[in-house]
């Protein structure tokens, strides 16, 4: 469509005619189909996608962009799986592998406490010897020492592995960890549900059906979680749309997903190191299409660690309403070649958000606003 004719219908940025019916649905607040998702992932019309996603984002969140202050804790990088996508996991006998003692985990957490973090994000490898009891002790020790900090811990993949090793159900495993003190779960490990691609990039992991079933059980026992999708490797537009529709279908049932985070594949130091890095164009498209498809998931996070602060800033006008936080000590992406800093100053984050015309709001994990004084923070309920 020419700029002149599109100007005539007041939607000047829709160039790709295949997106016109999608725009009509977006304006009518109708659900988009799997086919719409495929068409959007195929479309090069990034401005149209961003325009539509921004309409939805502003309808849901106005000008607010959320951020939080958290610390990642990775107790071990020992992992029995050898996923081609991963540069983090190591075999137990690898001289560079590490496993923290319980005291070390609690000590690392103490550093975050001093930085007044509101959340510990705890994930690690599938260790062949650490037991469920060990993890329960780790969690209850953290809760005792840092009662005000939200514990967002263990991917669905780790839960399924712990259950298998303890020879108990996923439900019982989750119930024990919840009793020990976990408050919610992160969204990692979902990768891409397509069996064809999963077989190549992470064939040692639980399959997509098991990931979704573990999330279903977590949500049913009252543990909310995030969800993710890994893109920028061997996937086709059909795989991307299918993944989002599966997340949306589960969300209709449980309402347990809080935030969706698209994760760009970083190939360095992985067995897929020959693949190119993703582009800013693809990063923005993933943000926009997910905002449009995931009509029942409240928040879309542009994770600056992964997409760089510059792209995460632009993403705030392409559908995202969250930019992650200031305090991180991130290993999974940096082992795979991420060149972003491991820490952004609060004032840098505020500037990025304000420059994008958005209103920064610090949040806790449940998206309640947090206010800070010189030395403490308060959650506003």
> Which spans of this chain sit near ligand V47 (rule: CB under 6 A)?
85-88, 155, 186-189, 191, 226, 228, 230, 261, 263, 265-266, 270, 303, 332-333, 336
Do residues 70 and 305 lie in contact, with contact meaning Cβ atoms separated by under 8 Å? no
Compare residues 55 and 366 and give the one whose CB is closer to ligand V47. 366
If the CB atoms of residues 270 and 321 are measured against ligand V47, the closer one turns out to be 270
**Cβ proximity to ligand V47, 155 vs 326, nearer residue:** 155
| Closest distance to ligand V47 from the beta carbon of 334 (Å) | 10
By Cβ distance, which residue is nearest to ligand V47? 188
Token duo for residue 235:
């996937």
Residue 110 C-beta: closest distance to ligand V47, Å: 22
Angle between helices 46-61 and 20-27 (to 10 degrees): 10
Nearer to ligand V47 among residue 40 and residue 122 (C-beta): 122
* Between 214 and 228, CB nearer to ligand V47: 228
- Nearer to ligand V47 by C-beta: 13 or 244? 244
- Shortest Cβ 181–ligand V47 spacing (Å): 18
E strands along 215-280, which residues?
224-231, 257-264
**Nearest distance from C-beta of residue 338 to ligand V47, angstroms:** 8
Is the CB of residue 191 less than 8 Å from the CB of residue 203? Answer: no
Sign of CA dihedral 358, 361, 365, 366: negative
Smallest gap from residue 226 Cβ to ligand V47 (A):
3
d(CA 83, CA 17): 40
| CA–CA distance, 340 with 302 (Å, rounded to integer) | 14
Q: Pick from 236, 141, 238: which is nearest to 181 by CA?
A: 141
Least Å from the CB of residue 354 to ligand V47: 23
Tell me if 123 sits within 8 A of 93, measured CB to CB: no
Our CB check for ligand V47 shows the closer of 12 and 298 to be: 298
Task: Give me the least distance between CB of 262 and ligand V47, in Å please.
Answer: 10
Residue 20 makes CB contacts below 8 A (sequence gap 6+) with: 1, 14
> Could you say which DSSP state residue 205 is in?
S
- Return the residue matching tokens 């849901």: 60
């Amino acid at each position: 469509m020419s700029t002149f004719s599109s100007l005539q219908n007041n939607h000047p940025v829709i160039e790709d005619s295949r997106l016109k019916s999608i725009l009509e649905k977006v304006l009518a607040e109708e659900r988009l189909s799997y086919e719409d998702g495929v068409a959007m992932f195929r479309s090069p019309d990034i401005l149209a996608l961003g325009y539509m996603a921004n309409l939805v984002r502003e309808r849901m969140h106005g000008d607010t962009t959320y951020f939080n202050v958290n610390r990642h804790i990775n107790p071990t990088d020992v992992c029995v799986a050898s996923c081609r996508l991963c540069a983090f996991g190591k075999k137990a006998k690898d001289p560079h592998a590490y496993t923290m003692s319980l005291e070390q985990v609690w000590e690392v957490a103490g550093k975050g406490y001093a930085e007044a973090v509101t959340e510990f994000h705890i994930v690690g490898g599938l260790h062949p010897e650490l037991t469920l009891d060990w993890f329960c002790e780790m969690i209850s020790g953290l809760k005792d020492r840092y009662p005000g900090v939200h514990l967002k811990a263990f991917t669905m993949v780790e839960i399924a592995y712990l259950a298998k090793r303890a020879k108990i159900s996923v439900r019982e495993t989750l119930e024990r960890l919840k009793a020990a003190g976990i408050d919610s779960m992160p969204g990692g490990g979902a990768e891409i549900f397509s069996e064809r691609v999963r077989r190549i990039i992470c064939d040692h992991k639980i399959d997509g059906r098991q990931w979704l079933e573990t999330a279903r059980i977590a949500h049913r026992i009252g543990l909310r979680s995030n969800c993710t999708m890994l893109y920028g490797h061997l996937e086709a537009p059909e795989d991307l749309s299918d993944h989002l529709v599966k997340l949306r279908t589960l969300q209709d049932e449980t309402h347990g997903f809080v935030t969706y985070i698209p994760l760009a594949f970083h190939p360095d130091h992985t067995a897929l190191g020959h693949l190119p890095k993703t582009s800013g164009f693809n990063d923005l498209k993933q943000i926009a299409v997910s905002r449009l498809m995931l009509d029942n998931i409240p928040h879309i996070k542009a994770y600056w660690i992964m997409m760089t602060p510059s792209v995460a800033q632009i993403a705030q006008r392409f559908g995202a309403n969250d930019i992650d936080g200031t305090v991180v000590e991130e290993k999974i992406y940096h082992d795979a070649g991420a060149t972003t800093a491991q820490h952004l100053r609060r004032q840098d984050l505020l500037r990025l958000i304000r420059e994008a015309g958005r209103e920064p709001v610090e949040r806790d994990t449940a998206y309640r606003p947090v206010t800070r004084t010189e030395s403490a923070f308060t959650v506003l309920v």
